[in-house]
Structure 1
Amino acid sequence: MSKYTLSCLLLSALFLAACTGTRNLPEGELLYTGATIKVESKTTPKKERKALKTALTPLLRPKPNSSILGLKPKLFFYNLAGEPKKDKGFRYWLRTKVGEPPVLYSKVDLEYNKKVLQNYAENSGYFNTTAVADSTRKGKKATATYTLDPKRQYKIRTVKFPDDSSAVSIAVRKTQRRTLLKKDQAYNLDIIKLERERIDVRLKEKGFYYFNEDYLLIQVDSTVADHQVDLIMKVKKEIPALAQNQYEINKIIVYPNYKLAKDSIVNDPKATVQYNDFTIIDKNNLFKPRIFDRTLYFKKGDLYNRTNHNLSLNRLVNLGTFKFVKNQFKVADTTGNFLDAYYYLTPLPKKSIRLELLAKTNSANYTGTELNLNWSNRNLFKGAEQLTISAFGGLEVQVSGQNNGFNVYRFGTEANLIWPRIISPFKFHSASGYVPKTKATLGYEFQNRTKLYSLQTFKGSFGYLWKENERKEHLFNLTEITYASPQNVTALYQSQIDSLPSLGKVIEKQLIFGPTYSYTYTNTMEKRKKNTFYYNGKIDLSGNITGLATGANIKDGNTKKIFDVPFSQFIKIENEFRHYLKLSEDSQIASRLIVGAGFAYGNSDQMPFIKQFFNGGTNSIRAFRARSIGPGTFDGSKTTNTFLPDQSGDVKLEFSTEYRAKIYGLVKGAVFLDAGNIWLLKDDPDKPGGKFSKDFLNELAVGVGAGLRFDFSFLVLRTDLAFPIRKPYLADGNRWVLDKVSFGNGSWRNENLVFNLAIGYPF
């Protein structure tokens, strides 16, 4: 054995010894390395014993030091750092953030853990369970062993609901159909608690405002049969009188100018306005009374229910006008069972100004900064209308790619006015906690692409936003208008148009107008679910009615213009579906599928450039430069030696999947695979191979890669390094290039490795 090999073995042995964590233990202490639970029973089936053991394991305290393959790296770094002299610096960071102190056996309470396990087993129907706790010492380490003997599990024989004639008992009895307690189901104390909560929730929907789940008693009779129980539900005798009554809404009083700092409740008749069922006390006349009639669900005479209670509060918050929303119900000073509802609303400042400095990336692989100045009026016409006027300016550069040096400068302004209602001749009702809104937008942007051209864009839209619930959202624009006009086209860009005429489409004047609709469904906010989804579907229609009315047909030379600009006529549909598979608290598999198509007709023979599809870049197929893929088998990189023109198409198919996992602290990692392409619906002589055909699957670009995500909570900085494994522009049969991957070859790296720097996750 060589000296080098011997030295390596000795160093490895020392490292392994250090990772065990016993070297720096206090005198007389042992390192706690975990516990074993044994479930031994002659009367309990093996399947039940296994399930019980799985449920019991997380209950043990304390948790031993984390380990990997028997090693304890966090404990190693804790010991390596030693005792820091200051509460800062590298040593302090290494010990407190990277390291982990030893879990000492002296902190283990065997008797307490034994009782916890025993109680859980008995609460799960294993009555008269016995438990024994013991420990084993080996060197400077100690482990614990807990042995349980659960008896045969008790099952539910019958469930009896209250049978007396009181109003509250009758209401409880009416909930029986949806009970969580089923015959022949195993006895479980947690299910019993959930049943009480369920009944309480249901009674709150039926006017029992003062009822509480603690007023329900569920008695257990285990003497009725062999390992069976009867559950007898009762309303406690000492229940308060208020909790026995159903209540209707009487007065609804709103204080829309309530101040937390001082008593702002006044009883001045001059400040009081009666509007339908509402009493509005607003001495400063800040809000029109009708806004509360639209926002609050309760009306005089309604039976109290918790759903309308919460929806009303949600809608008040959703108006975006109030800083604090407080609600109170009091028994009315009148005959009968009535509640007066009080709403105390603290407004936000009516006007505000905000300056923002943003870091951003876009689909064209450009990274840059943007400065935004926003002025807001949150109550423009005293109906909680929100007017926002913003001015912005920014610079975007391409970190890597052929367009490096062709920077983009942008500035512009935008005005948005949002009404907290649907402005329409038709009646619209939304029974959700989100206020339906009408939105009007006007905007102007000037974009200068250095060395190429400038583009002025005017935009306007008018439409509606509404949410059915937190999962489903709709956006319908009655009309969305875009007018784009080029300026300052350079000789460089004009020379490229001469050799590739399709580049001229980018700088054509464009007039696009028509309705758009978008629907979004998501349940990704439900963190406990293993599988979550996101779906967004869009349809974009432009010039359809105008084209039909004027008989526009570009094929017959009958092109129609508005303000001397041919208007675009097309139909565009796009669907995006995402799936998130949660593997653990710190890891998941995220996947995305995008399918879209646009069809130009009538007054247009091609989709307008700004409405076409693109592929490649930081949020797309990351192994290819931004907007460089396709269409089809066309290779756009050979069209110019100066810059890489954006390749666009009428049809898009894209798929991505990536494994995401936490590496340490704020650092997360991912490995991913992206695939897709774009195609044209019509032949283009300048882009051979670009037309969509039945062989489209054989024309997909595929790339793989890995990256880091630095999650700073206020932003996520993402770095991805990717390379292609399938190039659609190569000859058929030679498109897979996995066998040509050569990380050690400089020319291969220069041609194939693509580095992406972006803000946020790709999806």
Structure 2
Amino acid sequence: MRGSLGLMCNWAKIGLLLLLLSISGCNTLKKVGEDELLLTKNNILVDDQKVNSSEIKGLIAQKPNSSVLGYPLKLNLYNLAKENPDSSFQDWLHRKEKREKHLNNLLSKKQVNRLRESFMVKGASEFLKRIGEPPVIIDTAETNKSINKLKSYYNSKGYFNSTGDYEIVESNKKKRAQIDYNITLNKPYIVDTVQKNITSPELDSIYIKTAQQSLIKKGEQFDLDKFTLERERLTTLFRNSGVYNFQESSINYDILRDTTIASDDQSMDVKLNINKFRSSTDSTDTNTPYKVARHRKINIYADYDINGATDTLKRIEHENYNIYYSGELRYRPKALTDAIFFEKDSVYRDLDRIRTYRQITNLNTFKYPNIEFIPDSTQTQLESNIYLAAKPKYSLNLNFDVTHSNIQQVGTAFSASVITRNVFGGAETLNVSARGSIGLLSDASLSNENITSELGGDVTITFPRIWLPFNTEKIIPYYMLPQSRLSAGTNFQQNIGLDKQSLNAILSYNWSPTDRLKNNFELLNVEFVRNVNPDNFYNVYRNTFSNLDEIADGFQDDPQYASFFDPVEDEGEEPSLNIPEGANSFARSILNGEIPVSTEDFEEVNSIEERRRRLTENNLIFASNFTHTKNSKSGINDLDFYQYRIKLESAGGMLSLLSNILPYNKNDNGQSLVFNVPFSQYVKAELDYIKHWEIGGSQVIAFRSFSGLAIPYGNSDNVPFVRSYFAGGSNDNRAWNAYELGPGSTDNINDFNEANLKLALNLEYRFPIAGDVKGALFADAGNIWNVFDNETNPDAIFKGFSSLGDIALGTGLGLRYDFTYFVFRLDVGFKTYNPAKVGSDRWFDGYNLKKAVFNIGINYPF
């Protein structure tokens, strides 16, 4: 509670600060001179048509001050800075120096305080200037520069005779104006013929074969970007056709007409020139024609030492590869040669070089490799050398964290892992890890002890190939960076929830057809979860217990039910059900008809007992799944991209087929048992889509949609808790805490609400505030429901389109601080539409700071 009040106070201070900033910043013209105009807007008109392209707008040299939802925050921050903060300090210092001659250089306390205040004012002013923006004053020199840039841009599109001017349009408001840029294009120039002058016969032959793919075509409008792309296409073509040393600078174009002379004929001839090779060491050497080269000899230097001699190394030959090593060869030859995509006597391809780099890096055994190509005197034969420097055989990683959660007041967590490389000589990687934590229990009622603990470990081995009894290279070649991963792990919890013990084993395969496409196939994902302390259910799930205890209040004074309740020790204290026997017996007695209750209470108790059984039962999951992802992001600075993830999963199908061969034991519900536990059987599908739009000035609109459905069948009437969906939390609907929202229109029935159908939509507007401080406004919508399972509560069941009215809406704002390596995030969410309420109470009922939900997270939610 104290922490929540502290956060509220902090937000109140932030709100007050923003209010003061808005009041003090009302005078946006504070630092605009009498004869100056503040730029408020740029309009670009091309042939009298308004242009809104961000590319063209980016050509304008002067842009208006940035704003957040129309408010010039950075400008007003800058205006808060004192004009000359150190002037008073300098005057005072001058007077002080005179007085010091008579005061023996002694300063009074008042003078010291004045000195400190002067420094504070100066520091605050410098800070405000650094994070703020000075007013953008219209400068005609910059405006003319913008006109020239616009004309140059349209010249590059073939409008060589374009003209441009501008007009400064003063606003009705004082000292404000906008600039209208007017561009007249006139007729564009059209490519008539494309001639070629290729000095190398071999390059000419390669070019002719792909001439139809040229991006520069007769009859199309001149576009400089197409010429640039065509140069890149030809460079890639030649380098992948044997010309290992081809230089893009060898390509240039001539325009065979004078475009400065006005004419009705807008056609133009273009000549493609591909010059001879120019040596980087001898600029006069321009007489060497490009030639197609082949790999004559391929040498692999295993465990290469840059300071070591190579003439004393041992050599073996494997499938036309020469492998050099010292001492004993620690790697199976095939493991090395499978990572090399050059083949003897094959034509050089730059694509093979790139794939070789990627695959060797993917082995996680060597440092980044060095590859060199040494041509012979004819420039047609290459000696290719691949130098491999091994990473350390063993690596040790240690981590230590201090944690806090709703279960632990404070806790410490530690983990350690040992990585062993090249375990079996085939560049395999073995990772053995252990983890543990210990903490102080936050609620003494959850357990008889105050200490919580968790201990676990995993063993994972990774193979740089598809590990199957048959060859998959034709389906998944090595350039797709195939990996097989086999892992097994266990985890033990004590005084955490129901004290779970889990065992898991995974056999998975992953590969990347391209840099942006990734596939992962888990052939076998086995998880066994055992609840060691199921009698602790009502201590952990307090909301569920409160609902049952409230029904029991009507029977607490009846002597025949006294055994269900704890004895009352203090006068005036209300008796409550005994945990676990009293609560379990009371629920069974109602469901068996031994205790008469209303239909509504019977259904409530039935739901509670079903949930208790569901959350305390042990789970055995034998699943297989396939995940396909695509990410169009081209780099860390790419703010305009999309990504999606599709996942399909099936569990229990293989065990169900085996039931025709192996007779299984059955429980009272007719479920087949494996290791005395009913195995889970379900199918599951998920689609996750994310899209980011950059809207200028480092502002981004981010959107995410998620839909997931898991359908139990056969041996199961519900989906295991560990594979079900929940709503709420810092990466979901931020107006609700995790597990708090839903299912459907139910109102937080349980401490951990979950279901087997989920829909979620998120929209976020991200903008810079000052320096590394960012801001966000967001809207999160979604919910979870039960469908095709054993849930009986109609408010929790998805019944079709009408249930979409149960989609909850949370809105809010956030602050983020960018630490470069990660982003610290604080979001506050407000319940804007709560489907658990009735009528008009659904809207804005929780829209106040007292009912807000504060979320702390690392990095962006999507």
Output the amino acid matched with 1:154.
Answer: Y
Separation in 1, partners of 2:489, 2:692: 36
Q: What SS does structure 2 have at the residue aligned with 1:251? A: strand
The answer for the alignment partner of 2:316 in structure 1 is: 273
Unaligned stretches of 5+ in structure 2? 1-19, 90-117, 279-285, 540-578, 588-607
Alpha-carbon shift at residue 364 of structure 1 (Å): 11
Q: What are the superposed Cα offsets for residues 521-542 of structure 1, whole Å, 9 maximum, x if unpaired?
A: 2223467878633222223322
Q: 1:630 to 1:439 in 2, by over 3 A?
A: same
Separation in 2, partners of 1:698, 1:589: 26
TM-score by length of 2: 0.72
Separation in 1, partners of 2:38, 2:845: 48
Q: Paired residue for 1:547, among 656, 660, 678?
A: 656
Matches within 5 A, 1:90-239: 90-91=123-124, 94=127, 97-99=130-132, 122-127=155-160, 152-162=187-197, 166-222=201-257, 226-236=265-275
Q: 1:119 to 1:300 in 2, by over 3 A?
A: same
Aligned 8 A contact 1:62 1:108 in 2: no
Matches within 5 A, 1:279-678: 279-284=322-327, 285-332=329-376, 337-357=380-400, 370-394=413-437, 409-429=453-473, 430-431=476-477, 433-450=479-496, 452-489=497-534, 492-493=538-539, 495=580, 499=587, 500-501=608-609, 502-525=611-634, 532-551=641-660, 557-637=669-749, 644-668=750-774, 669-678=776-785
Alpha-carbon shift at residue 691 of structure 1 (Å): 3.2
Bigger Cα displacement from structure 2, 410-419 vs 103-112: 103-112
TM-score by length of 1: 0.81
Q: What are the superposed Cα offsets for residues 60-81 of structure 1, whole Å, 9 maximum, x if unpaired?
A: 6587876887894364356557
Q: What SS does structure 1 have at the residue aligned with 2:680? A: coil
Separation in 2, partners of 1:706, 1:65: 23
Q: 1:220 to 1:52 in 2, by over 3 A?
A: farther
Output the amino acid matched with 2:290.
Answer: Q
Separation in 2, partners of 1:419, 1:90: 57
Unaligned stretches of 5+ in structure 1? 1-7, 24-29, 638-643, 744-748
Q: What are the superposed Cα offsets for residues 496-520 of structure 1, whole Å, 9 maximum, x if unpaired?
A: 6665322232222222223222222
Output the amino acid matched with 1:645.
Answer: D
Alpha-carbon shift at residue 390 of structure 1 (Å): 1.6
Q: What SS does structure 1 have at the residue aligned with 2:465? A: coil
The answer for the alignment partner of 2:806 in structure 1 is: 699
Q: What SS does structure 1 have at the residue aligned with 2:217? A: coil
Q: Percent identity, please.
A: 24
Bigger Cα displacement from structure 2, 64-73 vs 647-656: 64-73
Q: What are the superposed Cα offsets for residues 400-439 of structure 1, whole Å, 9 maximum, x if unpaired?
A: 9x99x99975331112110111111222223474421110
Separation in 2, partners of 1:688, 1:55: 53
- Hey, which of these two has a bigger chunk of strand by percent? 1
Q: 1:74 to 1:302 in 2, by over 3 A?
A: farther
Aligned 8 A contact 1:39 1:150 in 2: no
Q: What SS does structure 1 have at the residue aligned with 2:245? A: coil
Aligned 8 A contact 2:673 2:679 in 1: yes
Aligned length: 721
The answer for the alignment partner of 1:76 in structure 2 is: 79
- Hey, which of these two has a bigger chunk of helix by percent? 2
The answer for the alignment partner of 1:18 in structure 2 is: 30
Alpha-carbon shift at residue 331 of structure 1 (Å): 0.4
Q: 1:253 to 1:512 in 2, by over 3 A?
A: same
Q: 1:524 to 1:309 in 2, by over 3 A?
A: same
Output the amino acid matched with 1:574.
Answer: E
Bigger Cα displacement from structure 2, 384-393 vs 285-294: 285-294
Q: What are the superposed Cα offsets for residues 605-628 of structure 1, whole Å, 9 maximum, x if unpaired?
A: 332222222222222222223213
Matches within 5 A, 1:713-732: 713-730=820-837
Is 1:708 matched with 2:815? yes
Alpha-carbon shift at residue 742 of structure 1 (Å): 5.7
Q: 1:487 to 1:94 in 2, by over 3 A?
A: same
Separation in 1, partners of 2:512, 2:836: 44
Separation in 2, partners of 1:106, 1:647: 61
Aligned 8 A contact 1:74 1:99 in 2: yes
Output the amino acid matched with 2:529.
Answer: A
Alpha-carbon shift at residue 391 of structure 1 (Å): 1.7
Separation in 1, partners of 2:829, 2:461: 43
Q: What SS does structure 1 have at the residue aligned with 2:352? A: helix
Q: What SS does structure 2 have at the residue aligned with 1:295? A: coil
Is 1:263 matched with 2:298? no
Output the amino acid matched with 1:614.
Answer: F
Separation in 2, partners of 1:247, 1:511: 59
RMSD between superposed Cα atoms in Å: 4.6
The answer for the alignment partner of 1:737 in structure 2 is: 842
Q: 1:704 to 1:553 in 2, by over 3 A?
A: farther
Separation in 1, partners of 2:212, 2:719: 57
Alpha-carbon shift at residue 544 of structure 1 (Å): 1.6
Larger radius of gyration: 2
Separation in 2, partners of 1:706, 1:13: 22
Q: What are the superposed Cα offsets for residues 687-715 of structure 1, whole Å, 9 maximum, x if unpaired?
A: 45333323432333332222222222333
Aligned 8 A contact 1:365 1:756 in 2: no
Aligned 8 A contact 1:458 1:483 in 2: yes
Q: What SS does structure 2 have at the residue aligned with 1:346? A: coil
Separation in 2, partners of 1:151, 1:449: 79
Separation in 2, partners of 1:520, 1:14: 48
Q: What SS does structure 2 have at the residue aligned with 1:76? A: helix
Matches within 5 A, 1:744-763: 750=850, 752-763=851-862
Q: What SS does structure 1 have at the residue aligned with 2:737? A: coil
Alpha-carbon shift at residue 306 of structure 1 (Å): 1.5
Aligned 8 A contact 1:208 1:245 in 2: yes
Aligned 8 A contact 2:510 2:520 in 1: yes
Q: What SS does structure 1 have at the residue aligned with 2:30? A: helix
Q: What are the superposed Cα offsets for residues 90-144 of structure 1, whole Å, 9 maximum, x if unpaired?
A: 448605631457889999689988876665555444446778999999x999999
Separation in 2, partners of 1:127, 1:170: 34
Output the amino acid matched with 2:273.
Answer: K
Q: 1:522 to 1:679 in 2, by over 3 A?
A: same
Separation in 2, partners of 1:135, 1:37: 10
Q: 1:80 to 1:678 in 2, by over 3 A?
A: farther
Alpha-carbon shift at residue 294 of structure 1 (Å): 1.4
Bigger Cα displacement from structure 2, 302-311 vs 90-99: 90-99
Aligned 8 A contact 2:296 2:381 in 1: yes
Output the amino acid matched with 2:518.
Answer: E
